[in-house]
Chain A
Amino acid sequence: MPWVLRGLRNGVVTTGYPRRSDPYAEAFPASVRPLVVGSANGVPVDDTLCPTGAIHNRAGALQLDAGQCILCGRCVRERPDLFGWVSGSQTARLHRQALVVPQLPETDEAVELVRRQLAARVRRMFRRSVHIRHVDAGSDGSEEWEALALLNPVYDVHRLGIFFTASPRHADVLLITGVGSHGMAEPLRRTVEATPRPLVVIAAGTDAVSGGLVAPSYAVAEGIGELVDVDVWVPGSPPSPFSLLHALLLAVGRIPPEGR
């Protein structure tokens, strides 16, 4: 069989993440943030600047909600003085409000609280291996590609004891993609119900977090948070595999949360 030799061809291509940092993960432009911290008085921000309304000018301070950002880059193109790309794939957060940058001071405490609650829930159960059940609740199809990429030799999540499972009965983590279409509400509810506890739910992608550009629409919820209790929020349209991996490791308490 030629495949044995072909399999050895490129040597080890697998990333060292999370034990070592990965250059691709570090360099990937996975988010946008305001460059002007604090006062942005007198800076008029046009309503048409952001197609999803992720940019707010609250009391003179610019804020960007990564949970609504679809990474189209329009704000960076049109106002490079105010917005810039941020490298680094560690974009998952344990609290919806923690996706808003720069963060409000009160968010820190809330994040710390949910982190402790989540840690208490998963500490004993998910120490070695976890099984993920993916559910598409109305994605555009790209999130599935990035989730599947976790199984390719570059990310190879099996080495971390992370497996995808076909049955919700065997699942510890639900990885939910998509905006939360009304047609998927019932299948999703049944899937959640069939999953044993403790259970960690990940909202994967800007669509799943907030509805992105697809909501508001007669056929969808504004993110899956309206349908299930979400533990980990991963923005991105779609989130890159490293961001999904970050979310998974965060979900099972293997790495400390960012932005604390």
Chain B
Amino acid sequence: MSRSAVRSPAQDPVGALHHALHMRLASGQRFAALLGRGDPDAGTSLTALVAHDGDVTALSATLPAGVTHYPALTPQLPAAFWYERAIHDLVGLLPDGHPRLDPLVLPHRDDASRLLPHPGAPGQPDRIEPYERALSVHLHGTGVFTIPHGPVRSGVFESVEYLVETPGEDIPHLRIRPHAKHRGVQKRFEGMTVDDGVLLAERVEGIASVAHALAFAHAVETLAVARVPVAAAMIRVLHAELERIANHLDVLGKLTDAAGLAVATARFGLHKEHTLRLVGALSGSRFGRGVVVPGGVTALPRLPADEVTAELDRLQHAINGDVRALLDTSSFLDRVRTAGPLDPELARTHGALGPIGRGSGCTDDCRASRPYDGYQQLAPPPVAVRSAGDAQARMQVRIDEIEAAFYLTRQAIGRLPDCDTDQLSVVAQPGAGQAVGWAEAPQGEVLYLLDVDDAARISYCAPRSASFHNLMLFPSIFVGDILTDFPFNEASFGLSIAGVVM
């Protein structure tokens, strides 16, 4: 977790950023994010995050006050497509040559009357309502019509609007409008202490609370040059892996629900409930909230190690039986096999994250490539990878990861008695500066680009969830799929909209 290198040649800063990015991507590094900050009237900056073995590097370009346009990166770097749309929505910069600058997180009027959040700039805007008329409504193709899914979905789902464009059966095109849930979280971080900030991080993407808290805490710990006690590092792994088990069980439950396998849905729902209860018994929160703080963890698990291990054994035994039965149910496998294929080449160039990337042959997992906390000491099992790229491959990756998560939780809880448990956290008083923190959420890598000022307050905080990075790929997996495949494709992605628009 390094302090970021800032490179910003005065002439053509974006060109230099582009060049630096190009060189790194050509040498096999992965484009992970493009984030904007500031107010065009007072000066803005663009920061690209590049992931590689051992570190995430931040490359920045500073644009002087008054500059409102810059040459878009998307034409050469398609993975920046959504990032530049979000930068346009939040910062107000116009990327020239962007292929389709539709609103993404906050539709606004592109005129002088607009009021924008300007993350990283001083002050908090009062109230900004989305300007729905900025949304594009055009549609092309003979006999094509749109089926809107959402924003209020049918069932208990997070709000998001999918516009399915179809001539009747196929889905040649899908548009995603996630903006309804935009909560302005990024701006909300600003001015907070890091102790409050970690609580907000837990609520950026509530089903991956632990991973977000970890990524945030890692950024703070880098700035504070703090080393987390071994016992805390193990407790962090324990909770991160239990969160992974719960999330993957949720996906299995939703996949079987889509297939109408009622008993399987009930069984996976039961296992998920038991997992959440175990997390609750350990920490007091069914989502492991309040465990991770900058510098360590708040408390020891509230259950003795042997009870935890016994419950893990019971849970794993029960899950394995149902997974075996599921992999033997041909009527179910027929639905997920070849559904929602994500082209491995696209996954690689996009830098697809988590089980979605690993189902299409991408091997990156920051627990292995940039290990943190207890993953440095424990021997993690090999990264689960499949190459088929379909919903089944993504499911298989998750099944393997459940297995690995049980192994890791047992290791972590087993190490605890040998650790010094008197001290579970160190003081993490961050010095002024910028740092990147990361953690592997069940959905994939979470990144936090964090700036702290001299008073140890957050002056800029940009979370980048795997959900944001991966949802961009969702429209491209409907090749050959029909309307009834939609629930399988959605469930197999297993993303959270809260983490997409924040």
> A-side interface residues toward B, CB under 8 Å?
1-4, 6-7, 9-10, 13, 24, 28-29, 48, 51, 70-74, 77, 85, 134-149, 151-154, 164, 166-168, 178-179, 181-188, 191, 207, 212-214, 216-220, 237-238, 240
Contact = CB atoms under 8 A, between A and B. Distances in A.
Contacts of A186: 132
Contact of B205 (A141, A148, A216, A217): A141
Given A181-B180, A217-B188, A48 B273 contact: no
18 contacts: A6-B264, A6-B325, A7-B263, A9-B321, A139-B181, A140-B498, A141-B205, A141-B498, A149-B272, A151-B269, A152-B266, A153-B269, A182-B182, A214-B200, A217-B188, A218-B125, A218-B127, A237-B289
B270 A140 contact: no
B298 A73 contact: yes
A146 B285 CA distance: 12
Contacts of B285: 71
B250 A145 contact: yes
A72 B289 contact: yes
Contact of B159 (A70, A136, A153): A136
A156 to B, nearest CB: 9
A79 to B, nearest CB: 15
B394 interface: no
Interface of B: 106, 117, 124-130, 132, 151-159, 179-185, 187-188, 193, 195-196, 199-200, 203-207, 209, 250, 261, 263-264, 266-267, 269-270, 272-273, 276-277, 280, 284-287, 289-290, 298, 318, 321-322, 325, 328-329, 496-499
Contact of A183 (B125, B127, B182): B182
Nearest to B126: A218
Given A7-B267, A151-B269, A85 B156 contact: no
- Most chain A beta-carbon neighbours within 10 Å: one of B106, B132, B285: B285
A2 B263 CA distance: 10
A217 B289 contact: no
A182 B203 contact: no
Given A138-B181, A141-B207, A145-B207, A154 B270 contact: yes
Contacts of A183: 129-130, 151, 179-182
Please list the 5 inter-chain residue pairs (A to B) with the smallest Cβ-Cβ separation, ordered nearest first: A142-B206, A140-B206, A152-B269, A219-B184, A166-B154
A70 B128 CA distance: 25
A65 B250 CA distance: 32
B267 A6 contact: yes
B286 A240 contact: yes
A143 B129 CA distance: 24
B181 A4 contact: no
A164 B157 CA distance: 12
A6 B180 contact: no
A147 B157 CA distance: 10
B262 to A, nearest CB: 8
Contacts of B325: 2-3, 6
A40 B205 CA distance: 38
Of the listed residues B181, B263, B286, B290, the one surrounded by the most CB atoms of chain A closer than 10 A to its CB is B181
A168 B154 CA distance: 10
A145 B156 CA distance: 8
Contacts of B290: 71-74
Contacts of B329: 1-3
A220 B185 CA distance: 10
Contacts of B277: 24
A214 B183 CA distance: 7
A182 B130 contact: yes
